Structure 1
Amino acid sequence: MNLDNHKVLLLGIDKKEEWSLTDSLAELAELAKTAGLSVAGEVTQVRTAPHYKYYLGSGKIRELPPLLKDQDIQIVITDDELTPSQQKALEEILAVKIIDRTQLILDIFAVRAKTHEAQLQVELAQLEYMLPRLTRMWTHLSKLGGGIGTRGPGEKQLEVDKRQIRKRIILIKKELKSVKKHRHTTRAKRQNIPLLTGALVGYTNAGKSTLMNLLTKASVLVENKLFATLDPTTRKVILPDNSEILITDTVGFIKKLPHQLVTSFHSTLEEVQEADFLIHVLDVSHPKFEILLQTSGELLQELNTSDKPCLLILNKLDQAQANLPALKLFLEHQKNYLVISALDPEYLPLILNKINQLLAHYYDVRTYHIPYQRMDIVDLLHTKAQVLHEEYQDQEIVLKVKVNSILGDKLMGALYK
């Protein structure tokens, strides 16, 4: 679906919740901008729930056609996911393309997905979204022009297409299983190198990729757009005590994340589940930064990762002047945090030292009995741990070391597997 340079109107419902309609529409506008659209305006209504047929009330919807015509608006985007019947009713009365928040996010993901796995995951999510809406797409395609599928309408062709989509869904799921197996093999190889792994997590556009570049001095794509990162990127980081860790940049979280993507991108979030510790990046320049933190925290709980060691990085300090009083109050209840701007390299030593401190809590003294054929582990312990005592015996080398317990467990696994 090519959305570039079209003018759009946003529709939203004010349910009087803590995450206000203003916040939600501001995020929707950013999503539209990320998709290459131009937001011409917004129409809102206070309601406890969407209208069963038109999303907004029928009176409000009937006011829109003149506005759409006068401003040459070709697309209307709703802030919530529509049912197929709501989408059909809106297209009939407004005679423009109707896209809901879910479809917009899916479109962004389709453009952003670079790896084969991410592309498969997005296609799967799009097909699962499309399937119940296929009848509507056939009915209105001739009026709206373009869009998904261009073959002649008709019940017979519709059923053929539904079967084709179901077959494609089965094939994608099968291929994803194979890709997942390969990814697990790659991760297993990485785990054979017994380095601690941290995952950068947080709300989309919090500055995770910028922080990744600062930590690793690498060139990871950085854009001021939502979902700039979809595919996990792993890089090596050297800490002040000369130990090495791996850091993985992961897909950003968002409110109202389409359920199709929650399912299909769960595998991407396995990188978070497999990590030894988390670096949670929060954009403190956002007026509702505490809600962003809560949203990310809820997803981390769903992933059963909330008990992992975690460093909270409060980012974009350079843009947060308006939030400083709220930030000061917020920090009174926090521990294990840093307030930084990831654009400023002067913060790098501070961040690395803080990571060192986070991991230092997990050091203990261990004794390893290492056969001579595993001198690689002896070398590794000399490099990555503090050797307290070393004794060469007939059959083995006995090393007493002070080592990070997580790293120690990985070494034990490598030694006795």
Structure 2
Amino acid sequence: MEASAAQDAALLARELRTSQTQEELAVIVVVEFTGELRKRKQLTAAARSARTAAAVMAGEDEGELPEGSALDFEAGRAEFEELARSAGATIAATLVQRRQKPDPSSLVGQGKLDEIVGVVASTNASLVLFDHDLTPSQLRNIEARLPCHVIDRSQLILDIFARHAKTREGQLQVELAQLEYQLPRLAGRGRAMSQLGGGIGTRGPGETQLETDRRKINVRIDHIKTQLDGVRRIRQQQRQRREAVPVPVVALVGYTNAGKSTLFNALTEAGVLESARMFATLDPKLRQLQLPSRRKILLSDTVGFIRNLPHTLVTSFRATLEEVERAEILLHVQDASSPIVEEQKMQVEKVLAEIMAAKKPVIEVLNKIDLVPERGRLPHERGAVAVSSIQKTGLEELLLAIDKALVADPLVESSFRLPQSEGAVLASLEGGAVIEEKRFEGNLVYLKVKGPASLLGRYRRFRDRSA
């Protein structure tokens, strides 16, 4: 009996492994609403006008601006297909619909829904992915017509986050976002939502299965929030220890797959994961970096943003995004080769405003210039730094720009006179500041130094008052 049970368990495990290795066959549905398109046209026109005005003021040519690049529907569709592949799906077919406004019952209307049913039947797809958020009622109505699982944009992004979360903190944040997404979508699951018991001798106090599930989810949400509060307290303690020795934080932000992790590695040689897959970086990385002025900063690599980023993700990942909130400077990394770089920039700025970081000093970084055949076609940003993280070009200019933008712990010049016996002081100044002049007279060393005010102030007793 025990041997039979062991064989059944082994067979079940083998079947589970096989199903996990097989990619799901998916039908993708991409919908564009012309009402939303009109609003985006107005925003893009305003952005293009501002960019042209900045170029004229700077006395520069704004370069060629491909008409409608920020509204490139094909680029948006390709982005969603890449999201599907990042989640492990094999794309069987992609259906496109443009309509004035969403259908309140099915998003796409009955005619398009009939077409989706036919395509699913012909391809034997096990999944339908919508590049749009579905209301709970729309999700129920669509699933009632289809013999397979239906996932909207937010749920797909949550699934990708769940795949890439490695640390305990990241896993907690993903679970919190998933639970908050599921909570309003519990209703309407047929008999599973019926009264508990339901027969003679089995009737409970009257709580439905739906109410039970909601209560369990709310209890779990409260538990996760308590654990994340603990994470936040630990981060605060670590931050306080860092602030005792002031080292400014510079955070990399940008659209997903803009090359932030590659740039992070190019600057710090940290060896973090570089991947063309979306949202490959979820957990924040911090590395110390020395600038040309010898000042030290902490460079932070953060999660990438995307258009229509689920609000639950922004709120759930607040512990991670605290590094962005507290950074002194933001490096907004943009994919210079992207045809929709303008729209991507606006989406990032929208999320920054949501986390109250929109007013921070920003250095625009145009990455992947090696993929732009003509430098004149680079998107124009006044004061932007053009780099190639792969070829490691433009990095020195970027470090100089960070040096110039830092306000905390400003660079100051000072002259010192100290005995040669103070070797530790001399080593500290040479390691943390730029020695502009050095000479020896007897057993004294005379220095002219430019460096961080905090470092030079530490040795004020050796200042040369006669200089």
**1:87-236 → structure 2 map (5 Å cutoff):** 87-137=139-189, 156-236=208-288
Q: Distance in 1 between matches of 2:226 and 2:302?
A: 24
Partner residue, 2:102:
50
CA apart distance, 1:137: 4.9
Partner of 1:351: 398
Q: 1:312 maps to what in 2?
A: 364
CA, structure 1 residues 138+268, in 2 after alignment: closer, same or farther (shift >3 Å)? farther
1:67-88: CA deviations, max 9, x gaps? 1111121111111111111111
CA shift, 1:20, in A, is 4.8
Cα shift at 1:187 = 1.8
Residue identity opposite 1:6 in structure 2: E
Q: Which residue of the partner structure matches residue 5 of structure 1?
A: 23
Q: Distance in 1 between matches of 2:192 and 2:259?
A: 41
The equivalent of 1:79 in structure 2 is: 131
Evaluate the alpha carbon distance shift between residue 126 and residue 306 of structure 1 in structure 2; reply closer, same or farther with a 3 A threshold: closer
Q: Deviations over 1:18-53 (max 9, x none)?
A: 445433322211111111111222222222322111
User: d(CA) in 2 for partners of 1:27 and 1:354?
Assistant: 31
| Residues 377 and 45 (structure 1), Cα distance of their counterparts in 2 relative to 1, 3 Å cut | farther
Match of 1:234, SS state, is strand
What is the Cα deviation at residue 223 of structure 1?
0.6
User: Shift of residue 298 of structure 1?
Assistant: 2.5
What is the deviation of 1:404? 5.0
**Separation of aligned partners in 2, 1:360 and 1:187:** 19
Q: Considering only CA atoms, is the larger Rg found in Structure 1 or Structure 2?
A: 2
Equivalent in the alignment of 1:14 = 32
Name the residue aligned to 1:396: none
The residue aligned with 1:394 is none
Aligned to 2:118: 66
Task: Quote the Cα distance in structure 1 between the aligned partners of 2:353 and 2:428.
Answer: 34
Q: Distance in 1 between matches of 2:347 and 2:425?
A: 41
Q: Is the 8 A contact 2:72 2:340 kept in 1?
A: no
- Tell me the amino acid that sits aligned with residue 372 of structure 2: A
Q: Displacement of 1:218 after TM fit?
A: 1.4
- 1:373-396 deviation per Cα after TM superposition (whole angstroms, max 9, x unaligned): xxx9999677545799xxxxxxxx
Cα 1:231–1:349 change in 2 (3 A) is: same
What runs of 5+ residues in structure 1 fail to find an aligned partner? 142-153, 368-375, 389-399, 412-417
State the Cα distance separating 1:292 from its structure 2 match.
1.0
Larger displacement relative to structure 2 (258-267 or 342-351):
342-351
In structure 1, C-alpha distance between the alignment counterparts of 2:22 and 2:183, rounded to whole Å: 24
Q: Where does the alignment leave 5 or more consecutive residues of structure 2 unmatched?
A: 1-18, 41-70, 194-205, 415-423, 437-447, 459-467
The answer to whether the 8 A contact 1:8-1:76 is kept is yes
**Closer, same or farther: CA 107–139 of 1 in aligned 2, 3 Å:** farther
Measured after TM superposition, the shift of residue 107 of structure 1 is 0.6
Q: Which amino acid aligns with 2:343?
A: I
Equivalent residues in 2 for 1:295-334, closer than 5 Å: 295-321=347-373, 325-327=376-378, 330-331=379-380, 334=381
Distance in 2 between residues matched to 1:90 and 1:63, nearest whole Å: 12
Q: How many residues align?
A: 377
Q: Is 1:206–1:281's contact at 8 Å kept on the other side of the alignment?
A: yes
Tell me the CA shift for residue 363 of structure 1. 3.3
Q: Say if 1:210 and 1:357 are closer, same or farther in 2 by CA, change over 3 A.
A: same
SS state of the match for residue 49, structure 1?
coil
The partner residue of 2:385 within 319, 338, 345 is 338
* Cα-to-partner distance string for 1:48-67 (whole Å, 9 max, x where unaligned): 32211111011111122221
The CA distance in 2 between the partners of 1:378 and 1:171, in whole Å, is 53
CA shift for structure 1 position 233 = 0.2
**1:36-47 mapped onto 2 (5 Å cutoff):** 36-47=88-99
Contact kept in structure 2, 1:10 and 1:25, CA below 8 Å: no
8 Å contact 1:243–1:383 — kept in the other structure?
Answer: no
The 1:362–1:156 alpha-carbon spacing in structure 2 relative to 1, beyond 3 Å, is closer
TM norm structure 1: 0.80
- Tell me, in whole angstroms, the C-alpha distance in 1 between the residues paired with 2:344 and 2:221: 33
Distance 1:162 1:385, change over 3 A: same
C-alpha contact (below 8 Å) 1:197/1:276 kept by paired residues:
yes
Task: Give secondary structure in 2 for the equivalent of 1:269.
Answer: helix
How many angstroms does 1:124 deviate by? Answer: 0.9
CA distance, structure 1, for counterparts of residue 223 and residue 156 of structure 2 = 25
Change (3 A) 1:175 1:4: farther
Report the alpha carbon displacement of residue 123 of structure 1 after superposing the two structures with TM.
Answer: 0.6
Amino acid at match of 2:236: H
1:287 equivalent to 2:339? Answer yes
3-state DSSP of counterpart to 1:177: helix
| SS of residue paired to 1:167 | helix
Maintained 8 Å contact 2:385/2:394: no
SS at match of 2:275: coil
What amino acid is the match of 1:350?
A: E
Matched, 1:271 2:323: yes
What do residues 266-290 of structure 1 show as CA deviations (whole Å, max 9, x unaligned)? 2211101111112111001111111
SS at match of 2:406: helix
Deviations 1:302-344 (A, max 9, x none): 33334433222111112223x75542xx32xx23222121011
